[in-house]
Structure 1
Amino acid sequence: MLSFIPGSVPDDLGYYTDAQIRMAAALLRGFHDATTTMPSVREGGFEVVCHNDWAPTNTVFQADEPSAMIDFDTARPGERLWDAGYSAFTWLDLGNDDYSADEQIRRLDVFAHGYGWPECTVARLAVYALARQTALAASTRARGKSEIADWAAGCADWTALNIVERLLPTGYS
């Protein structure tokens, strides 16, 4: 159903409070849970429908709180953590060196707890965020969008060196 949702939508990524991150993760979890019985999910052997672009820029905020998801043009059946990894990447601005590794690990924990699913651990979320950053870099480069590709690749490098290596010091290959 198409309808208007009053509120504001950010133009770009930025800093979001712990409460906003928790609410965003909970909205994603609610969306995922609502899709588990859809025929395309069940018959395809998938977990959920993934939004695939759940970012602040696809969020309606009301009273400074994330209140609705918008822009479902990339939605497809898939895996919860594939979607949660991308969402954590965008909501935390993961890869932005304005935030320390310790702070981003702490914020990953806030997101994981907000999502509230036992399989959504900080380490798994970080690995999936890195996979999504790498996939975004590759797909945008293939489409000739070098500026976005370079940004995503830089975020992936930062995440690999500062987050994933700390959480999984023996490697993640």
Structure 2
Amino acid sequence: MAGEVPDDTGPFRLPDARIRSATTLIRSFHDATAGSGLCAGQEVVCHGDLGPHNTVFRGERAVALIDFEDDVGPGRRLDDFAQAVWGFADLTDAAVPLAEQARRTRLMCDVYGGVTPPAVVEALTARFRRAHDQHLAAGLPGAVRVFADLLTWMARFGNRIADA
């Protein structure tokens, strides 16, 4: 696929034009799968790992989602979208000002439509809790610490993202 996948070299990874374009592509992907047999009775097919690292751009335009692997499956669009917000809005990144994280979250919610920042915060917190508990059950202390830190961040700052 011709294009560029952004590297992960620092904060403010993407300009708003790329965030808008990627959000529109994600919405189109969800809408295209909604009601299909691939949903297995769920709302949409979820990518499971949406973010800049799995998006191909040509200039400012997002042209493809890549890396459809283990996490792909039926689910709720909100859960998949919240994962995307985590990556594209640089949520939980200490190098990015909280106000900027909140602004980007609001931008993505507005472009996607029908989703609010409080819903994103709730979905991400639930995702982090599930991952924490799964890693705890699997005896993976390093991963448990990562998700415990993410849960602490959400408890401390999630309300400021939700109020965006």
TM-score surpassing 0.5? Answer: yes
* Deviation (angstroms), 1:146: 5.0
Any residues of structure 2 matched to 1:29-108 within 5 Å, and which? 29-41=27-39, 44-73=40-69, 74-108=71-105
**What is the alpha-carbon distance in structure 2 between the residues aligned to residue 63 and residue 78 of structure 1?**
31
Structure-2 change in CA distance of 1:91 and 1:165 (3 Å): closer
Q: CA RMSD, aligned part only?
A: 2.4
Aligned partners of 2:67, 2:75: CA distance in 1, in Å? 17
TM-score by length of 2: 0.82
Aligned residues: 160
Q: How far did 1:121 drift? A: 0.7
Deviations 1:116-153 (A, max 9, x none): 2x2x0111112112222333444455556655553343
Distance in 1 (alpha carbons) for counterparts of 2:125 and 2:9: 17
Q: How does 1:1-173 map to 2 (within 5 A)?
A: 5-12=1-8, 14=10, 15-41=13-39, 44-73=40-69, 74-116=71-113, 118=114, 120-140=115-135, 147=142, 149-164=144-159, 167=162
1: CA distance between counterparts of 2:154 and 2:103?
14
CA distance in 2, matches of 1:53, 1:80: 13
Q: Percent of pairs identical after alignment?
A: 34
Structure 1 residue runs of 5 or longer lacking an equivalent are 169-173
In structure 2, do the counterparts of structure 1 residues 152 and 56 end up closer, same or farther at CA, with 3 Å as the change threshold? farther
Seen in structure 2, the aligned counterparts of structure 1 residues 147 and 162 have a Cα distance that, compared at 3 Å, is same
- With structure 1 as the length reference, what TM-score do the two structures score? 0.78
Is this contact kept in 1: 2:56–2:64, CA < 8 A? yes
Q: Which runs of 5+ in 2 are unaligned?
A: none
Deviations 1:83-130 (A, max 9, x none): 0111111112211122233222211100101212x2x01111121122
